């Protein structure tokens, strides 16, 4: 049975349960909930605030539920507050050499102005975090996950100290005076062009540059987490409310929260760290082998390379897959079974797809059961439901080439 109608309440329960679970862990450690510079702005605009990755973040807004917000992003454009993400800058003549010891990207040959998705790995080849690294003339601009900030910083600083002791010239600094917003959707470029005063047609996906937005010097990257065209803007914190208001003044732009962000990224087949990736998962198992360029496969040099590189040729015991699920939505933790009833994996993320009007899920299954079209089952509330392995992204991406 396919999902033909999604109510606001049903989507809310699907999306917020895993999010709040991840956040309350921080609260249990007596860590105070942080606020981004847009907190009062969200409240003023009807944002329903929930704890996420140690921050109070909007899950949706009073003028538009999650389902409507999801469709609005696919059809027009939405602004997401992503100021909780960790922004940092790496400088010094040995910056690329140093950072290549931590991530699987080829930074030596990455052109200036271009970025790449990469992963931090540990000595066992597991993924510490996923990250975007962007090459600039005099620095690397790095964005990683808020929920991993403490362990990322500890990891980077440990290896930085070791690298510097050996004579390496590199500095690493957290960017604390800028906030981050993302504008996503097919109308995102048109909305941003009104503030930068020029065409963005030659600004390609996964590229970044410094530009003035409404007269404010900002860093702009053409990237995002929805599968749509869009931009991430690093804005001086004292100007973030003004810039957000000016973008929101465009008739095609609305605010969006974590609820729509999660269903959008799932349709795009994108991973959420802590759900679909963790320190026991290698890039090959996660279907992220493409993040390891040929040059790094030949030379290695990153943590865990001795575990990861043999997997590229020799295979792995489990693989990340996309699933279309019949019946009720399969949430994270649901067992995946083969047709003989044997448990062969676990769902890590799942929700109804507003675009496909079907239940979609991401999970890991034993190698051999990962091929497109393979018929499987999932167990949801002790009920066995049919599922089929499906190519990701579930919804075609619309990145600007």
In the annotated binding site for substrate, the residues are 232
Give the burial string for 343-378 (b: 16+ CB within 10 Å, else e): ebbbbbbbbbbbbeebbbbbbbbbeebbeeebebbb
Instruction: Output 336-340 pairs: Cβ under 8 A, ≥24 positions apart.
Output: 336/363, 336/364, 336/365, 336/376, 336/377, 336/378, 336/387, 337/376, 337/377, 337/378, 337/379, 337/384, 338/369, 338/376, 338/377, 339/375, 339/376, 339/377
User: Could you count the other beta carbons within 10 Å of the beta carbon of residue 295?
Assistant: 13
Cα distance between residue 104 and residue 291, in whole Å? 7
Cα distance between residue 341 and residue 377, in whole Å? 8
Is 110 in contact with 208 (CB distance < 8 Å)?
A: no
State the DSSP code for 120.
Answer: E
Q: Which residue has the tokens 């590199």?
A: 170
Token pair recorded at residue 368: 């051999």
CA 117 → CA 46, 103, 111, 324, 332, distances in Å? 33, 10, 14, 26, 24
Is 71 in contact with 6 (CB distance < 8 Å)?
A: no
H/E run at residue 334: none
Token pair recorded at residue 396: 């075609």
SS3 325: strand
Q: Residues forming the annotated binding site?
A: 232
Half-sphere exposure of 37 (CA within 13 A, CB side): 20
Strands laid side by side in the 55-61 sheet: 34-35, 55-61, 47-52
């Amino acid at each position: 049975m396919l999902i033909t109608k999604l109510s606001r309440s049903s989507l809310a329960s699907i999306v917020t349960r895993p999010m709040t679970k991840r956040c309350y862990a921080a609260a249990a450690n007596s860590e105070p909930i942080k606020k981004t510079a847009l907190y009062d702005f969200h409240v003023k605009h009807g944002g329903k605030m929930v704890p996420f990755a140690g921050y109070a973040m909007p899950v949706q807004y009073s003028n538009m539920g999650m389902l409507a917000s999801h469709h609005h992003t696919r059809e027009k454009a939405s602004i997401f507050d992503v100021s909780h993400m960790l922004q940092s800058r790496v400088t010094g003549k040995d910056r690329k050499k140093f950072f290549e010891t931590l991530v699987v990207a080829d930074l030596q040959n990455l052109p200036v102005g271009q970025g790449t998705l990469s992963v931090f790995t540990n000595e066992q080849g597991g993924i510490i975090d996923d990250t975007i690294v962007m090459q600039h003339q005099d620095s690397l601009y790095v964005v990683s996950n808020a929920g991993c900030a403490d362990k990322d910083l500890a990891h980077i600083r440990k290896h930085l100290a070791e690298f510097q002791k050996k004579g390496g010239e590199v500095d690493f600094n957290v960017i604390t005076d800028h906030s981050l917003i993302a504008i996503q959707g097919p109308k995102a470029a048109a909305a941003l062009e009104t503030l930068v005063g020029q065409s963005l047609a030659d600004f390609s996906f996964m590229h970044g540059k410094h530009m003035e937005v409404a007269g404010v010097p900002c860093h702009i990257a053409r990237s995002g987490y929805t599968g749509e065209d869009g931009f991430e803007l690093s804005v001086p914190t004292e100007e973030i409310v003004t810039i957000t208001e000016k973008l929101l003044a465009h008739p095609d732009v609305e605010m969006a929260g974590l609820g729509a962000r999660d269903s959008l990224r799932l349709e795009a087949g994108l991973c959420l760290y802590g759900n679909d990736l963790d320190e026991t998962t290698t890039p090959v198992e996660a279907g992220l082998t493409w993040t390891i360029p040929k040059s790094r496969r030949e030379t290695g040099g990153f943590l865990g390379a001795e575990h990861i590189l043999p997997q590229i040729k020799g295979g792995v015991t489990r693989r990340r897959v996309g699933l279309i699920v019949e019946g009720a939505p399969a949430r994270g933790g649901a067992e995946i079974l083969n047709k003989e009833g044997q448990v062969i994996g676990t769902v890590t993320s799942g929700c109804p797809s507003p675009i496909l009007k079907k239940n979609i899920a991401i999970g890991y299954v034993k190698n051999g059961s990962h091929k497109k079209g393979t018929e499987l089952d999932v167990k949801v509330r002790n009920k066995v439901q049919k599922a089929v392995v499906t190519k990701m992204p579930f919804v075609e991406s619309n990145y600007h080439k």
